[in-house]
Amino acid sequence: QKEVEQDPGPLSVPEGAIVSLNCTYSNSAFQYFMWYRQYSRKGPELLMYTYSSGNKEDGRFTAQVDKSSKYISLFIRDSQPSDSATYLCAMKRNSGYALNFGKGTSLLVTP
């Protein structure tokens, strides 16, 4: 079993919908939680960065971390066709340097 699990999708939604993406993990030592967006043939781009539990909001994006359930989520409000990409969750330990990524969820927002 991988330390970080993420449903690869694909997930297809109409423009304007609220998108919910999530990951589960098994290692309780993870303290830093990130969401990256990756367009085809591009490198990952950091969207949200959270330390420990709680919520964080940035524009149309909200990240949630529930450490008791080992579950993290990314919500996208008013989704746009330009949001179509692969979304990767990533985590790391307090004392570590390596990011542990999920497989990524492919999102398609249709006009």
Partner 1 sequence: GAGVSQTPSNKVTEKGKYVELRCDPISGHTALYWYRQSLGQGPEFLIYFQGTGAADDSGLPNDRFFAVRPEGSVSTLKIQRTERGDSAVYLCASSPGGGSNTEAFFGQGTRLTVV
Contacts with partner 1, residue ranges (CB under 8 A): 4, 6, 8, 31-32, 34, 36, 41-46, 49, 51, 88, 90, 92-104
Residue among 9 and 13 whose Cβ is closer to partner 1: 9
Residues 9, 26, 87, CA angle at the centre, nearest 5°?
30
CB of residue 16 vs partner 1: minimum separation in angstroms? Answer: 28
CB of residue 9 vs partner 1: minimum separation in angstroms? Answer: 11
CA dihedral for 75, 39, 17, 105, sign (positive or negative): negative
- Residues 85 and 10: their CA atoms lie apart, in Å, by 10
Residue among 17 and 99 whose Cβ is closer to partner 1: 99
